[in-house]
Copies of this chain bind each other. A is one copy, B any other.
Amino acid sequence: MNSEKIKEIAGGVTAAKGFQAACTEAEIKYKNRTDMAMVYSEVPCTCAGTFTSNVVKAACVQWDQKIVASGAKMQAVVVNSGIANACTGQEGWDACEATAQAVEKELNIPAESVAVASTGVIGMQLPVEKLVNGVAKMSKTLAHTAEAGTAASKAIMTTDTINKEIAVTFEVAGKTVTLGGMSKGSGMIHPNMCTMLGFLTTDLAIEKALLQEALSEVIKDTFNMITVDGDTSTNDTLLIMANGLAENPVIADKGEAYQIFYEALFTVCRYLARRMAGDGEGASKLFEAKVVNARSKEDARTLSRAIVGSNLSKAAIYGCDANFGRFLCAMGYSGAQFDQNDVELFFESKAGRLQVFDKGTPLAFDEDLAKKIMETDEVTVFVDMHEGTEEATAWGCDLTYDYVKINADYRS
């Protein structure tokens, strides 16, 4: 890792050269809020994507998978929030096609280079005319400004309370490369290929196969390590578009340039993933689980995900209750094998660090300190397995009254 070589800058999807964005109030499902966004590259892009592993895939996921698999260039993405376009049959597919064709007409690029993405209610048809009108409006307001990128990141939100965007720069062969991105949560979040919706843009020049490999690898320790509610969505989509305008020599092997890009990609994805976890539906805090010295990488991932995924763990975090038995219980049913007599467990936050379990035996601990540690906005459960050398970190959030409230009547 060369963290000092990755510089965070202001901005998001419009930070890299040649990328523009726009958004509009299309009234897909709600009024008086922006609910459509578009990201456009001035030149065609090499692209890669990862998608939900859910057997029930939204029409838009199927549309995008086709583009990514075809090897075609991608030049625009149109996103709507409000209706997911999942479980919608032929009519859902037709809505994707109509949207892409509207972009073709407005911007004179092939419909086959236009990705679409949707988030919202499942099992409801999209209002195609509103989508087409939205594309027409956005095509006239596309801009290569930070403001346009930020506005787009807000338009794709559903129950999110904060927008998520980031941009970084790094050097490749003397050229400054920029990588930016945006994503949204915040319910039905338990990615199992990638996360709900994420869009990354870069002016890097790189071969398609390497772009896909980097993306597929990075999500394993970023988007795939977050969970809000254990529900893997029908719509999870992460796309990256690389337009080459940084004019670096095209990355064609896993040399130094690839490594720096990989690290930048990891930085961006990790940032967006953490933000999504901490802004999970109804969440009051970020809940992190770090597992070290596990028998294998897969075990470390499984164990840390089980901890942040347990409803009982999440409720304890909400109640600031150092009920550590729930974390051990979750580890126990995760599927990973281990001996509880090897395990040490700690609570950590900016307020301190406290060991509560020592190789099979519960420790008498300072309840006041435990409470203080847990009353912060980012709480970590740190587990030392003492059985190997592998580690992983997973992110989630607490389970609150508001989660129930949001989801007991989400459709209305």
Contacts and interface: CB of A to CB of B under 8 A. Distances in A.
A338 interface: yes
A213 B192 CA distance: 37
B401 A321 contact: no
B329 A360 contact: no
Interface residues of A, number: 70
The 4 closest A-B pairs by CB, nearest first: A122-B325, A319-B408, A56-B332, A315-B407
B87 A360 contact: yes
Interface in A50-80: 52-57
Contacts of A113: none
Given A230-B310, A231-B310, A329 B408 contact: no
Contacts of A400: 404
B231 A411 contact: no
A326 B122 contact: yes
Contacts of A91: 361
A281 B124 CA distance: 32
B411 A329 contact: no
B187 A123 contact: no
Contacts of A52: 333
A332 B55 contact: yes
A125 interface: yes
B56 A123 contact: no
Nearest to A55: B332
A240 interface: no
Given A55-B333, A329-B231, A321 B87 contact: no
Contacts of A122: 323-326, 328-329
Contact of A315 (B54, B89, B332, B404): B404
Contacts of A318: 404, 408
Contact of A407 (B230, B319, B333, B409): B319
Contacts of A105: none
Contacts of A338: 55
Given A321-B409, A408-B318, A312 B231 contact: yes
Nearest to A409: B319
Contacts of A231: 310-312, 326, 329-330, 333
Nearest to A86: B325
29 contacts: A54-B329, A55-B331, A55-B336, A55-B338, A56-B329, A56-B331, A86-B325, A87-B340, A87-B360, A89-B360, A121-B323, A122-B324, A122-B325, A123-B323, A123-B356, A187-B312, A230-B230, A230-B310, A230-B311, A231-B333, A234-B328, A312-B407, A315-B410, A318-B408, A319-B407, A321-B409, A321-B411, A401-B401, A403-B404
